[in-house]
Amino acid sequence: LGVLHELEPAGIGARNLRECLLLQMAPLPINSRPRRLARKILTNYFEEFVKKHYEKLISRLQVSEDDFREALAEIKHLSPKPGNLYSEGGTDATPYIIPDFILDYHDGQFDLQLNSYNVPEVRVNRRYMEMIREMVSPDGTVREKDREAIQFVKNKIDSAKWFISAIKQRHDTLMRTMQEILDYQREYFRDGDKSKLRPMILKDIADRTGLDVSTISRVVNSKYVQTQFGIILLKSLFSEAMQTDSGEEVSSYEIKNILQECIDEEDKRHPLTDETLMDILNAKGYRIARRTVAKYREMLGIPVARLRKQI
């Protein structure tokens, strides 16, 4: 293991994150106070550092806030995943998204198409139809030895036709579903303003298309539409309805946007707790519980207040 730790990139073969970061610091000359402090933090106070107990660390280390901030900057230069340097720019981790629908908007009109660039036109080879004709005599009779062969070819042609029909039905289901989503969210698709997104659940589209909710779920899962304002994941357009104090229904998107703005503008030394965020939203007229705030915060990929703390 010691030999492995000497290989490049520095940090590979580590058994945990602390060891990984210390292995990266090992070859660096410890010729400055911030580096010495950074190594001391990683060696002796890693748990407190991870949990962002900064005031406690400053007190224990008996250093100034500026010195502590410079030590944090040294740690932030290290990589938690040094092997990523060899992943060819992360192409495997971030594959290209190929949209399933293409939506154009010109002169107030929408033009919706299914993106079938990688779905070739499927048809039955004429050679098989000709084989049957060749085995049938002009008077319509079939020789005994050819009957089994004809039946076999007919079964295969029927299977092919069923397959072609299934593909067409799938295309029709996709287009019907996307058309209803477009009609339901027409205002949003004009310019991509998320505040114009109407509350929409799978059942709303299922009722409008006459399809089952499970079918709609499969259609929108991992499907994308290309619009004039970007490529959009269909599933992201679905949101719950929330009520304001005035009884007006709004999309949960609107609440998430306000939540994001509050957190972006907060004092990072004293981040807003879920309880405080709930009070802010209630003051703005949105009836929302603390657990719902926590759920939306997690959906936005935002950590709890303690982990958002900066110094």
Dump pLDDT digits (tens) for 247-265.
566 667 778 888 888 998 8
Classify strands 230-233 and 109-114 as parallel, antiparallel or unpaired. unpaired
Domain boundary among 36, 61, 89: 89
Q: How far is CA 81 from the centre of its chain?
A: 21
- Domain span holding position 67: 2-89
Q: By C-alpha distance, which of 78, 79, 82, 61 is closest to 311?
A: 61
Residues 166 and 250 in one domain: no
Residue ranges in the chain assigned as alpha helix (H): 2-5, 17-25, 33-44, 46-50, 54-61, 65-76, 126-135, 144-184, 186-191, 202-209, 213-220, 252-265, 274-283, 290-299, 305-308
The last residue of a domain, from among 62, 89, 116: 89
Whole-prediction pTM value? 0.57
Write down the pLDDT at residue 178: 93
Bridging pattern class, strands 101-106 and 224-227: parallel
Structural domain contains residue 200: yes
Specify if 34 maps to a domain: yes
What is residue 89's DSSP assignment? G
pLDDT single digits (tens) 89-147 = 544 555 678 888 999 988 888 999 888 766 678 888 888 888 888 888 777 677 777 78
Sheet holding 224-227, edge to edge: 109-114, 101-106, 224-227, 230-233
Whether 282 and 195 share a structural domain = no
Does 145 map to a domain? yes
| Within a domain: 250 | yes
Q: Is 136 found in the same domain as 83?
A: no
In the chain, the percentage of residues whose pLDDT exceeds 90 is: 23
C-alpha span between 218 and 249 (Å, rounded): 27
95, part of any domain: no
Query: What's the rounded mean pLDDT across residues 63-86?
Result: 87
Q: What pLDDT does residue 207 have?
A: 92
